[in-house]
Structure 1
Amino acid sequence: MRVMVLVKATVDSEQGFVSTPETMEAMQAMGRFNNELEKAGVLIAADGLTPSSRGKRVAFNGADRTVIDGPFPQTSELVAGFWLWEVRDMDEAVAWVKRCPNPMPGPSEIEIRPLYDMAELS
């Protein structure tokens, strides 16, 4: 089963990455966690995203397209980073997330979403 693991954005992450001893320590801890995922054969892809101020959205309405420049409101609904994992089931994904270092200073949230399996849809 493939899952997308989404690290939700925070007010801090929307300010952009600032190199401090604390953030560098957090990055090293996350690097060690990613190494564990890789060794276990779980990790397919992972990366952090820049703040939404550097992004764009394209809104669709029939044939019309409207480009919307960031930053985007409702920080708690934005994504700051992601993993793509191959796991046995959702329980394994949850177990891995529980082992993850806190991805943000202070409270944060990680969402796990299964990818569609086209074989199951047929």
Structure 2
Amino acid sequence: MRFMVMIKASQESEAGMMPSEELLTAMGRYNEELVQAGVLQAGEGLQPSAKGARVKFSGSQRTVIDGPFSETKELIAGFWIFQVKSLQEAIEWVKRCPNPMPGESEIEIRQVFEAEDFGAEFTPELRQQEESVRAQLSNKA
């Protein structure tokens, strides 16, 4: 099972405050542990929302909204993709994570959809297309 593990933003991360050397060191050790255990598939920190944008869809219309975005508690400051056996295992790994923000912080864990989750609507042709896209990505990496 794959899980996306999202570090929620804080006022400090949205203000562009960089993590301390101590936190970077602790996160580096944590990431190494995840890699050695075969859990980590990807992970990155994200720039503040002031450097981003949202695209709002309404039928065929597209509206671009430039950051920053006001609801800090809804924003993501970074993420990991974990490959684990269960939600409980993902939770156990997250509980070992250094606190990513000064003071209180929150990390959200969400399971990633796999092809078999989509049922009959995910036709053999769509599966083949998905496999082709993944193969192209693997070749670029």
Query: Which structure has the bigger radius of gyration?
Result: 2
- Give the superposition deviation at 1:60: 0.6
**2:104 alignment partner, one of 99, 104, 107:** 107
The whole-number CA distance in structure 1 between the counterparts of 2:100 and 2:5 is 12
- Give the superposition deviation at 1:121: 2.3
- Give the superposition deviation at 1:117: 1.6
Q: What's the CA shift string for 1:51-77, capped at 9, x where partnerless?
A: 000000000111111110000011000
Unaligned runs of 5+ residues in structure 1 are none
1:69 aligns with 2:66: yes
Aligned to 2:11: 11
- Give the superposition deviation at 1:84: 0.4
1:33 aligns with 2:48: no
Secondary structure, aligned partner of 2:11: coil
Q: Output the TM-score relative to the length of structure 1.
A: 0.95
- Give the superposition deviation at 1:118: 1.6
TM superposition outliers: structure 1 runs of 4+ over 3 Å = none
Matched residue pairs, number?
119
1:87 aligns with 2:98: no
The whole-number CA distance in structure 1 between the counterparts of 2:18 and 2:87 is 33
Structure with the bigger percentage of strand: 1
The whole-number CA distance in structure 2 between the counterparts of 1:17 and 1:31 is 18
Secondary structure, aligned partner of 1:112: strand
Unaligned runs of 5+ residues in structure 2 are 120-141
Between the aligned residues of both structures, percent identity stands at 55
The whole-number CA distance in structure 2 between the counterparts of 1:33 and 1:17 is 21
Structure with the bigger percentage of helix: 2
